[in-house]
Amino acid sequence: MSTKDDTPGKKGEKTNHIPGIYNYCDRWCERCSFTARCLNFEMSAEKFGNLENVDITNEVFWQKLSETFAETLSMLKEMAAEKGIDLDSIELDDEDERLEDPSVVHIISHMAKSYITMVDEWFDSNVYIFEDDHSGLKATAAADSNQSPPDENTVTLIESVEVIRWYQHQIYVKLRRALDSACDEATDDDLDSYPKDSDGSTKVSLIGMDRSISAWGKIIKHFPDEEDRIIGIIAHLDRLRRRTEAEFPDARAFVRPGFDEINPGMTRTL
């Protein structure tokens, strides 16, 4: 699949845009590592300055966050085991029966909506920390920082909050689109030979779950008194992730234009 758009630009020059890259993105332009190659974002170029430099910085950010994903899942299992909870023993199909009637809210949709509520409740109960000017966050990070410079940890904590808040609602929205698309695809045989929109939408949602799990893994280190509640949130999100993968087994393999097309010498992050 070609990732180059040779459509003439304003003065007749060819552009380097990736066709359709905006179809399966998370709409977080400020954190995207492909703004310089997105036609939809071209009008915002003046606001963000040198887009190639922005893209490089964002690539590093997501790589840094992705490195905590496996660590967070390992931590989840260890802490759950200490509390007598065996997460691996939970069979996805045994928790609830699959819902055959499409008019009934699907279990993964229900779980995604529950996650929204869980996140709101946690932040509401810690509202004194998450002030608009981030002064509470800075104080928390400085107090808990023992090994790294306070400023470095402060940025990490604030960014983790931003990641959680960005994907909090989008996970549900993308899953709803995936479920609706799956219903349409089931009745249209002509779509069998094409990549499924349901898989593409699901992949965006799964990436949001991955990144959110990583972000919660960062946050839990700063809130030891909230360990039980945060572990509960991560466990819920992990179950949603596994259920979603079971419902859409081909979603992870879906190739999103640009994001999942790896060039020699390049590595895509979460």
d(CA 141, CA 137): 6
92 pLDDT band, cuts 50/70/90, is: very low
Could you tell me the pLDDT band of residue 261, with boundaries at 50, 70 and 90? low
Q: Residue range 88-114: average pLDDT?
A: 62
End-to-end Cα spacing for the chain: 21
Mean pLDDT of all residues in 193-203: 88
The reported pLDDT for the residue numbered 158 is: 83
Domain-wise residue ranges, the chain: 66-253
Instruction: Give the list of residues 6+ apart from residue 26 with CB closer than 8 angstroms, or none.
Output: 166, 167, 170, 204, 207, 208
By percentage, how much of the chain surpasses pLDDT 90? 31
| Angle, alpha carbons 178-183-187 (nearest 5°) | 140
To which H or E segment does residue 166 belong?
A: helix 150-186
CB atoms within 10 A of CB 141: 21
Q: Provide DSSP, 61-101.
A: HHHHHHTTHHHHHHHHHHHHHHTT--GGG--HHHHS-----
Q: Whose structure tokens read 């909506």?
A: 113
Q: How many helices (H) and strands (E) does the chain have?
A: 9, 0
The SS3 assignment for 5 reads strand
* Rounded Cα gap, residues 188 and 181, in angstroms: 11
The model's pLDDT over 154-181, given as tens digits with 9 standing for 90+, comes to 447 888 899 999 999 999 999 999 999 9
| Residue 230 burial class via C-beta count within 10 angstroms: exposed 0-12, middle 13-18, buried 19 and up | buried
- Is the per-residue pLDDT at 106 higher than 70? yes
